[in-house]
Amino acid sequence: MCAFAQNNGSAVSQTGTANDAQVSQVGVENSSDVNQSGTVTGNSLSGQGNEAKVKQAGNKNTSLVKQAGDFNIGTVTQNGNHNAAGIDQGVGNAQENEAYTTQDGMHNTASQKQRYDFNLGNIDQDGNRNEAYQDQSSGPNQSAGNDAYAKQTGKHNLIDQKQIGNRNGAFAYQIGNHNEADQDQTGNDNNAVTRQGENRNEAHQTQIGNGNSATSYQNDLGIGSDNYSLQNQTGNLNTATVDQGFNSSNSSAIQNQMGNSNGAYAFQEGDDNASDQSQVGGNNGAFAFQVGDTNVSNQLQSGFDNFSDVTQLGNNNNAFTSQTGSGHVDFTIQVGNGNMSTVTQGNTGTTF
């Protein structure tokens, strides 16, 4: 253990076998606390292979690394002033957890909490007053873990990732200012991806079940701001995609799916567009394509094997689709301005 202090404070407490901690602090009034403990009940080898490395350069940065269990690795690197980072890993027979935090700038905050086996978290923040939080829990006895990655460049961005289960993956990437990404997954083999650029975009993803996938792109390929994306999925093997990646502002896309093997896709380019897709049942598909300004699309489907495709090219168009039963098909195409369409289908069968 090594430390370089200029009115800096460092506390290291280690219990067990072959623990290693390295602390390097350059600046004024930095604080570091590393606590690695040893034996887990019923496992004489626990406490082996813990490793913590802390590097801080700047003023008034704080870091806390607390590891309990086997083969944990925690790394905190902070450059700048008034940054705060916390890593808390492992309870019970927890093995091989890893967490990394890198922060460059001022007043950034990162928190990583991992429980049980084989979770991996990585936070990388560049800018000022960004916040990132990761909370992952898998299970004991060599359970497959979860992966979470968060990267922010800019100011006042927020990422919150929470995963419970096995083999879940959460990815959030934000460039710009005042963006917000929230990812919450419970179950196994779920995947959530958020990519945001420009300013004041907001994305929320919640998945409960197994094998679900949610993807949200906002202004990552163009310019724009103030877009909103909400994706909720309950069940198995559902897929939801929102693409506001081009020149889009003040647009909203909402996708709610309950059941199995449903798919929803929404594409928006322009300003003040709104898409709402709600599906209950199984094997339903909803597609919305909006190019222009102030278009509104509502797609509601309940049952099985229903399909709805809405295309809006122009401004101030309104499309409403409601399908109940099984095997219904709807294609709505609006070209120009001020068009209105209403499609309602019930019972069973296929209607064009």
Domain-wise residue ranges, the chain: 1-167, 200-216+239-352
Q: What is the mean pLDDT of residues 227-254?
A: 95
Which band of pLDDT confidence, cut at 50, 70 and 90, is reported for residue 352? very low
Of 176, 337, 320, residue with least CA distance to 270: 337
Please, which pLDDT band fits residue 46 given cuts at 50, 70 and 90?
Answer: low
d(CA 101, CA 149): 10
Q: What is the Cβ-side half-sphere exposure of residue 243, based on CA atoms within 13 angstroms?
A: 13
CB 148 within 8 A of CB 126: no
H/E segment holding residue 50: none
**Full-model pTM:** 0.90
Q: Model confidence over 287-296: pLDDT tens digits?
A: 999 999 999 9
Which residues have a Cβ under 8 Å from the Cβ of 104 and sit 6 or more positions away? 78, 79, 80, 125, 126, 127
DSSP E strands in 211-273: the ranges are 213-218, 228-236, 239-244, 248-249, 252-260, 263-271
Q: Which residues contact 41 (CB under 8 A, 6 or more apart)?
A: none
pLDDT of residue 324: 96
Given a cut of 50, whether residue 116 has pLDDT beyond it is yes
Enter the tokens of residue 105.
Answer: 């700038």
